Chain A
Amino acid sequence: MIQQAIVGVIVVAALAWVLRPTIRRVLRRRQLAAGKAPGPCGSDSCNCGG
């Protein structure tokens, strides 16, 4: 049972790592939509100082 739990955690972590770029993209899109993240350089909501 303990072995299965450990394996389950490792597999979920591996899945999260593989899906990391997609998860990041979705989170960023949500933050942008909510106005909580700066936009890309040159856009109205950019705050990089350029």
Chain B
Amino acid sequence: MNAIAPVLQTAPRIALVGNPNCGKTALFNALTGSRQKVANYAGVTVERKEGSFTTPEGRRIQVLDLPGTYSLRARSPDEEVTRDVVLGRFKGEAEPDLLVCVADATNLRLVLRLVLELKQVGRPLLLALNMFDIARHRGIEIDIARLSAELGVPVVPTVAVRKAGTVDLLKHIDTAAVELADAATAGANTWHEPSAEEVRATHREADRIIKLAVRPPTKPDTWTTRLDTVLLNPVAGLLILLTVLFFMFQAVFTWAQPAMDGIKAGFDALAAWINGAMPDGILRSLITDGVIAGVGSIVVFLPQIVILFTFIILLEDFGYMPRAAFLMDKIMGGAGLHGRAFIPLLSSFACAIPGIMATRVIDNRRDRLATIMVAPLMTCSARIPVYTLIISAFVPDRTVGGVFALQGLVMFGLYAAGILSALLVAFVMRRLVWRGTVEPFLMELPAYKVPDAKNLVMGVWTRAKAFLQRAGTTILSIMILIWFLSSFPGAPAGATDPAIDYSIAGMVGHWLQPLVAPIGFNWQITVALIPGMAAREVAVAALGTVYAVGGGEENVTALMDTLGHSWSLATALSLLAWYVFAPQCASTLGVVRRETNSLKWPLIMFGYMLTLAYLASFATYHIAASLGWA
């Protein structure tokens, strides 16, 4: 206790433990006011998260949100984090003073086994019966007092998403904190890796307590079962999944257009006002050609990001994502990917970084590495500006069959290309590098829930804010540098070519262009690809700046029109093919290094993706050229 006592004087530490998808992060957010991601499926939290809050008695409490686990017998890297923190073995982390076990009140059987294990750890323990409203709605009757008496721990009903029950929970935390400060309330840690007989005994004890304290509904709710008979049907379910995704991409294109036009008009008006208010000179050029043309060409894609994430968060909250994983399991297994790879790969549609981190739910190292290596092939949101720019410039805005937007169809095709190439690469890797059978997939299917409006708004806002922050900081800075490199040194006296040809960027672009000439890229694309190595969407902003400096158009955000008559269709298709594979994200490579603890895997990833990108662009360009599109 000597090591704990000084900590208690400042801030007692509580750890939120529980089964996956029981609402630990929702409770963490309710207590701390944080906005950590919550969703209706297991494996959203894969590393410990820390926050703090003040109790009604004014006590400062530190709280840890831990990855979900069914037992302290950890099997995957995320479960190891939970076990090590709970047992005080986590490097650099003090043992928690109080454990709050969060339970899904609609499914107590699983969590009671964990509670019985946690009791053996010897730390003070509280049980938060979360989603209590749903349990009551389904007719599940829980005798709180009896449950508390049988378990020997205080039990508090909560509804974390609505912050219900948190006042009662805080009172219990306050009481526990007083006890902690007064005396050594912690008992001896008697937990050990249980034998098969001990596991069976724990199951029997959990069943005994359930019989005493929980009465199942007299009329079971069949809504989830009825929906699942359709949504999990191998044929109808897959068709519905494809329709949902197809509708999503159609909406991204058609619904976003008015807002995109509005943003574009706003930036154009701003540029026109600055052009009228400021005298001609390098400062005006920096503001209009560098800042407005560069940043404006990225910010214009905000409506599409918002629509895409609205769909994703709605599907997550509804509980559809694990069903999609279930439907895809057979296809993914055929490619050599573990069923649990679906959620990391799905997260990679937003960004490969959380996707790669989410692979911690996969316990087998080979399965995990295979998933990490293909995660960046999924179409992340940074590719949306690139795809949209090229599609809008080159694909006619018309419908197919009078219903489907052609541009949306092409976008859907690019997403499909990303998924298919990920499956193909995984298949080849599992055959050549990591041979062996894929382990069977077990995943709990949560009950369907009506999406929470607040979670939806907060989730979309967080994404939109991150996008705008990136545009206003990193992309803005890079665009200022690109403008500088595209403007200096100026053209010599008597020069006949455009001034940008004599600039540093122009010289570098012309110098490197022979390398990418076989894939149809011009020197402007080459210049854009260099800063685009930091992040994919930067290339769009760089193209905006390079063409604005070089062209000096009145309408600085008219990049789509400029590209439409500067590039051939073959070049545009080649660049699209490049972006399906290109490893242009330094942060992703950094995370791969951290997650694999090796420089080898990010280097292999960079090498294979660059090779695939070049080959795909080469083939696309030459096929398109042979069709007369060059």
Contact B91 A41 (CB under 8 A): yes
Nearest 9 A-B pairs (CB), nearest first?
A41-B92, A14-B480, A42-B91, A14-B477, A42-B92, A17-B477, A50-B92, A3-B283, A11-B484
B290 to chain A minimum Cβ distance, whole angstroms, is: 9
A44 to chain B minimum Cβ distance, whole angstroms, is: 12
Contact B480 A10 (CB under 8 A): yes
With A3-B281, A4-B282 already in contact, the answer to whether A15 and B481 are too (CB < 8 A) is yes
With A41-B92, A49-B7 already in contact, the answer to whether A18 and B282 are too (CB < 8 A) is no
Check if B476 is an interface residue, CB within 8 A of chain A: yes
Query: What are the residues of chain A within 8 A of B281 when measuring CB–CB?
Result: 3
Q: Mark A15-37, 1 if CB is under 8 A from B, else 0.
A: 10110000000000000000000
Contact B477 A18 (CB under 8 A): yes
Chain A: interface secondary structure? helix
Within 8 A of A (CB), among B443-498: 473-474, 476-478, 480-481, 484
Please name the residue on chain A nearest to B483 by beta carbon: A11
Contact B286 A7 (CB under 8 A): yes
Question: A residues touching B (Cβ–Cβ < 8 Å)?
Answer: 3-4, 6-7, 10-11, 13-15, 17-18, 40-42, 46, 48-50
Most chain A CB atoms below 10 A, which of B6, B474, B477: B477
Most chain B CB atoms below 10 A, which of A6, A14, A40: A14
A46 to chain B minimum Cβ distance, whole angstroms, is: 6
With A17-B473, A49-B7, A50-B92 already in contact, the answer to whether A7 and B282 are too (CB < 8 A) is yes
Query: Measured between alpha carbons, how far is A47 from B32 in the docked complex, in Å?
Result: 25
A45 to chain B minimum Cβ distance, whole angstroms, is: 12
Q: Mark B4-42, 1 if CB is under 8 A from A, else 0.
A: 001100000000000000000000000000000000000
Chain B: interface secondary structure? helix
**21 A-B residue contacts at CB 8 Å?**
A3-B282, A7-B282, A7-B283, A10-B286, A10-B480, A11-B480, A11-B481, A13-B477, A14-B477, A14-B478, A14-B480, A17-B474, A18-B477, A18-B481, A40-B92, A41-B91, A42-B91, A48-B92, A49-B7, A50-B91, A50-B92
Query: Measured between alpha carbons, how far is A10 from B281 in the docked complex, in Å?
Result: 15
With A7-B282, A49-B7 already in contact, the answer to whether A18 and B478 are too (CB < 8 A) is yes
Query: What are the residues of chain B within 8 A of A18 when measuring CB–CB?
Result: 474, 477-478, 481
A11 to chain B minimum Cβ distance, whole angstroms, is: 5
Please name the residue on chain B nearest to A2 by beta carbon: B283
With A49-B7, A49-B94, A50-B92 already in contact, the answer to whether A14 and B286 are too (CB < 8 A) is no
Query: What are the residues of chain B within 8 A of A50 when measuring CB–CB?
Result: 91-94
A10 to chain B minimum Cβ distance, whole angstroms, is: 6
Please name the residue on chain B nearest to A50 by beta carbon: B92
Query: What are the residues of chain A within 8 A of B93 when measuring CB–CB?
Result: 41, 50
| Number of chain B residues close to chain A: CB under 8 A | 18
A19 to chain B minimum Cβ distance, whole angstroms, is: 9
A20 to chain B minimum Cβ distance, whole angstroms, is: 9
Most chain B CB atoms below 10 A, which of A7, A41, A50: A7
Within 8 A of A (CB), among B265-280: none
Please name the residue on chain A nearest to B91 by beta carbon: A42
Please name the residue on chain B nearest to A19 by beta carbon: B477
Query: What are the residues of chain A within 8 A of B7 when measuring CB–CB?
Result: 49
Query: Measured between alpha carbons, how far is A3 from B484 in the docked complex, in Å?
Result: 14
Please name the residue on chain A nearest to B286 by beta carbon: A7
Query: Measured between alpha carbons, how far is A46 from B91 in the docked complex, in Å?
Result: 11
Query: Measured between alpha carbons, how far is A7 from B7 in the docked complex, in Å?
Result: 51
A14 to chain B minimum Cβ distance, whole angstroms, is: 4
Query: Measured between alpha carbons, how far is A18 from B474 in the docked complex, in Å?
Result: 7
Contact A6 B94 (CB under 8 A): no
Contact A6 B477 (CB under 8 A): no
Please name the residue on chain B nearest to A41 by beta carbon: B92
A50 to chain B minimum Cβ distance, whole angstroms, is: 4
Q: Mark B81-97, 1 if CB is under 8 A from A, else 0.
A: 00000000001111000
Query: What are the residues of chain A within 8 A of B6 when measuring CB–CB?
Result: 49
Query: Measured between alpha carbons, how far is A3 from B478 in the docked complex, in Å?
Result: 20
Query: What are the residues of chain B within 8 A of A17 when measuring CB–CB?
Result: 473-474, 477
Q: Mark B586-617, 1 if CB is under 8 A from A, else 0.
A: 00000000000000000000000000000000
Query: Measured between alpha carbons, how far is A46 from B473 in the docked complex, in Å?
Result: 32
Query: What are the residues of chain A within 8 A of B92 when measuring CB–CB?
Result: 40-42, 46, 48, 50
Query: Measured between alpha carbons, how far is A10 from B282 in the docked complex, in Å?
Result: 12
Query: What are the residues of chain A within 8 A of B481 when measuring CB–CB?
Result: 11, 14-15, 18
Contact B283 A14 (CB under 8 A): no
Query: What are the residues of chain B within 8 A of A13 when measuring CB–CB?
Result: 477
Query: Measured between alpha carbons, how far is A46 from B94 in the docked complex, in Å?
Result: 13
Query: What are the residues of chain A within 8 A of B91 when measuring CB–CB?
Result: 41-42, 50
Query: What are the residues of chain B within 8 A of A7 when measuring CB–CB?
Result: 282-283, 286
Within 8 A of A (CB), among B45-83: none
Query: Measured between alpha carbons, how far is A3 from B481 in the docked complex, in Å?
Result: 16
Query: What are the residues of chain A within 8 A of B480 when measuring CB–CB?
Result: 10-11, 14
Query: Measured between alpha carbons, how far is A10 from B479 in the docked complex, in Å?
Result: 11
A23 to chain B minimum Cβ distance, whole angstroms, is: 13
Query: What are the residues of chain B within 8 A of A42 when measuring CB–CB?
Result: 91-92
